């Protein structure tokens, strides 16, 4: 929809929540506004020698904390309004999960499938160069990450470009979501999807809330439909299934499918890789178009693609009791109201998909400290556990086999520490916003915004206005 104003939608949700805050209009206005908006254009020489103009943006929404942080996406829907909206969501998201960054976002308006790898590399490196020129990238100023249609490979190009053009001992911390050998962190690729799972699981473990929705307690046996099998959707579905939920529907660009008996995720991924489509997979029923499955029977609906997917046209027909917003901005303000009136629990994007930036924060810390998490303490932990196990052996008639000893005494490595930090973050933040929801009799989205407004507002109160 061309008249869709995403930033306005985000601000509407902000305004709803702000009514419950104690801050005056001026301060709220300062929190809401985008601090820096940078529109970049540059020429790309295509492989066939022709020249094309590329448009990109980087928006730093809020400097109340530095660096600012947020992904870079490749999509034809990228424009200034979208980048501003997504940057604002990053600010609120970081505040909700206590990640000490301001929000930012970047985007390049291209359809990735139309360019060769060499062309994509040239685009990414030139975009990075433009960011460097204007100080829109750096370990202490603005730190990009992957987003829709970008991943570790692009982040590697960004780091390499930054490192060639600057001299900074902390240069690895200029971007997150990098390949592990380039300073990336284990667990970052799956982090957003894994966080989505932790958040939905936490919601499902709240007895009072499940009673209200008329659902059984716990994630096991709940059915879900996912939109988008990209990095976030795939990993969210994977962990949901491992947690005992059943995937009954999938929506992708080429169409949507449903099977109430459950769909095998790994086999579906292989099928799609081989045939280029999810249509025709096993016993699944093909629906009339690529969003029709969103209206099918399920307990949990996980939109994990782009914004504006649950709108006033399909919201009245959506049957899910829980909406887990893995994408950024998947539900329009109108759809949100409709779904809420129908009694659905909407777990908002600015909390639920914060797993990515949470692990990005860990990656940034790792890069600044120049040491892998667990490197110093892993063996010391193992030695202590072994001593305890040996004491247990000495005072009882229990002896441990070598395999048991190794398993019970293993210290936490980087992946285990990242995963436990992520789990803790998602659980604590869920309960924080759920308690606010109950306290003010508002919904979870308003609660997440309110939570962010309170945390950011206090900072502005303390710092005053400069100069
Ligand atoms: N692009 C992701 C998001 O929207 C991650 C951002 C980051 O890690 O900085 O949250």
Give tens-digit pLDDT for 345-383.
999 999 999 999 999 999 999 999 999 999 999 999 999
Beta strand spans in 308-435 (E): 322-324, 345-347
Claim to verify: residue 272 and residue 283 sit in the same structural domain: yes
DSSP 412: P
Helices (H), 246-322: 265-275
pLDDT band at 283 (very low <50, low <70, confident <90, very high): very high
Q: Given the CA of residue 147, which atom of ligand 1 is nearest to it?
A: 1
Claim to verify: residue 178 and residue 241 sit in the same structural domain: no
Helices (H), 179-252: 191-204, 207-213, 231-242
Claim to verify: residue 78 and residue 172 sit in the same structural domain: yes
Mean pLDDT of the chain: 97
Claim to verify: residue 156 and residue 244 sit in the same structural domain: no
Strand partners, 145: 71
For residues 366 and 3, give the distance between their C-alpha atoms in angstroms, rounded to a whole number. 42
Sheet holding 246-252, edge to edge: 285-286, 255-258, 246-252, 223-227, 300-303, 322-324, 345-347
Structure confidence at residue 118 (pLDDT) = 98
Q: Other CB atoms closer than 10 Å to residue 47's CB: what's the count? A: 11
Q: Given the CA of residue 104, which atom of ligand 1 is nearest to it?
A: 9
pLDDT at 4 over 90: no
What would the mean pLDDT of 196-213 be, rounded to a whole number?
A: 98
* Percentage, residues of the chain above pLDDT 70: 99
**Whose C-alpha lies nearest to ligand 1, atom 7?**
357
Could you read off the pLDDT of 211-267 as tens digits, one per residue?
Answer: 999 999 999 999 999 999 999 999 999 999 999 999 999 999 999 999 999 999 999
Q: Tell me whether residue 40 is in a domain.
A: yes
Residues near ligand 1 (Cβ within 6 A): 69-71, 145, 147, 176, 328, 353, 356-357, 360
pLDDT band at 464 (very low <50, low <70, confident <90, very high): confident
3-state percent helix, strand, coil for the chain, nearest multiple of 5: 50, 15, 35
Claim to verify: residue 288 and residue 259 sit in the same structural domain: yes
Structure confidence at residue 203 (pLDDT) = 98
Q: Other CB atoms closer than 10 Å to residue 38's CB: what's the count? A: 17
Claim to verify: residue 47 and residue 191 sit in the same structural domain: no
Helix (H, G, I), strand (E, B) or coil at 85: helix
Q: What CATH number did the domain enclosing 128 receive?
A: 3.40.50.10860
Question: The domain containing residue 112 runs over which residues?
Answer: 35-182
Q: Are 73 and 40 in contact (CB under 8 A)?
A: no
Q: Tell me whether residue 407 is in a domain.
A: no
Claim to verify: residue 225 and residue 367 sit in the same structural domain: yes
Q: Tell me whether residue 234 is in a domain.
A: yes
Gap from CA of 97 to ligand 1 centroid (Å)? 13
Q: Tell me whether residue 236 is in a domain.
A: yes
User: What total number of domains does the chain contain?
Assistant: 2
Gap from CA of 81 to ligand 1 centroid (Å)? 18
End position of a domain, from candidates 167, 182, 197:
182
For residues 54 and 44, give the distance between their C-alpha atoms in angstroms, rounded to a whole number. 7
Q: Given the CA of residue 89, which atom of ligand 1 is nearest to it?
A: 4
Claim to verify: residue 73 and residue 159 sit in the same structural domain: yes
pLDDT at 31 over 50: yes
């Amino acid at each position: 929809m061309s008249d869709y104003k995403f930033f306005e939608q985000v601000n509407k949700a902000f305004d709803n929540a702000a009514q419950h805050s104690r801050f005056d209009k001026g301060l709220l206005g300062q929190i809401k506004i985008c601090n820096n908006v940078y529109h970049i254009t540059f020429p790309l020489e295509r492989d066939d020698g022709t020249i094309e103009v590329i448009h990109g943006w980087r928006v730093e929404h809020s400097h109340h904390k530095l660096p600012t942080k947020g992904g870079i996406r490749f999509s034809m829907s990228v424009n200034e309004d979208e980048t501003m909206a997504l940057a604002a969501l990053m600010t609120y998201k970081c505040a909700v999960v206590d990640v000490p960054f301001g929000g930012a976002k970047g985007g390049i308006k291209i359809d990735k499938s139309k360019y060769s790898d060499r062309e994509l590399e040239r685009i990414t490196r030139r975009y990075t160069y433009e960011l460097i020129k204007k100080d829109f990238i750096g370990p202490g100023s603005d730190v990009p990450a992957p987003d829709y249609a970008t991943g570790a490979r692009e982040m590697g190009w960004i780091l390499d470009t930054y490192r060639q053009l600057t001299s900074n001992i902390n240069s690895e911390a200029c971007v997150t979501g990098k390949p592990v050998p380039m300073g990336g962190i284990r667990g970052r690729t799956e982090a957003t999807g894994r966080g989505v799972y932790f958040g939905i699981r936490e919601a499902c473990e709240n007895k009072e809330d499940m009673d209200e929705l008329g659902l059984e307690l716990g994630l096991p046996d709940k059915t879900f439909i996912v939109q988008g099998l990209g990095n976030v959707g795939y990993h969210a579905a994977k962990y949901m299934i491992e947690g005992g939920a059943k995937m009954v529907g999938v929506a992708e660009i080429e169409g949507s499918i449903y099977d109430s008996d459950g769909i095998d995720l790994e086999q579906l991924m292989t099928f799609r890789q081989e045939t280029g489509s999810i249509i025709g997979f096993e016993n699944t029923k093909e629906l009339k178009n690529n969003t029709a499955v969103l209206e099918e029977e399920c307990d949990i609906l996980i939109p994990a693609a782009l914004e504006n997917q649950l709108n006033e046209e399909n919201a009245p027909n959506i049957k899910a009791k829980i909406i887990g917003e893995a994408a950024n901005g998947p539900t329009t303000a109108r759809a949100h109201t409709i779904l809420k009136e129908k009694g659905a629990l909407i777990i908002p994007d600015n909390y639920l998909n914060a797993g990515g930036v949470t692990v990005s924060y860990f990656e940034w810390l790792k890069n600044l400290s120049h040491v892998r998490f667990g490197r110093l303490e892993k063996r010391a932990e193992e030695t202590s556990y072994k001593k305890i196990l040996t004491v247990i052996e000495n005072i009882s008639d229990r002896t441990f086999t070598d395999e048991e000893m190794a398993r019970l005494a293993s210290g936490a490595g980087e992946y285990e520490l990242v995963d436990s930090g992520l789990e803790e973050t998602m659980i604590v933040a869920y309960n924080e916003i759920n308690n606010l929801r109950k306290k003010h009799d508002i919904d979870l989205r308003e609660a997440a915004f309110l939570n962010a407004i309170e945390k950011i507002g206090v900072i502005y109160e303390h710092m005053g206005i400069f100069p």
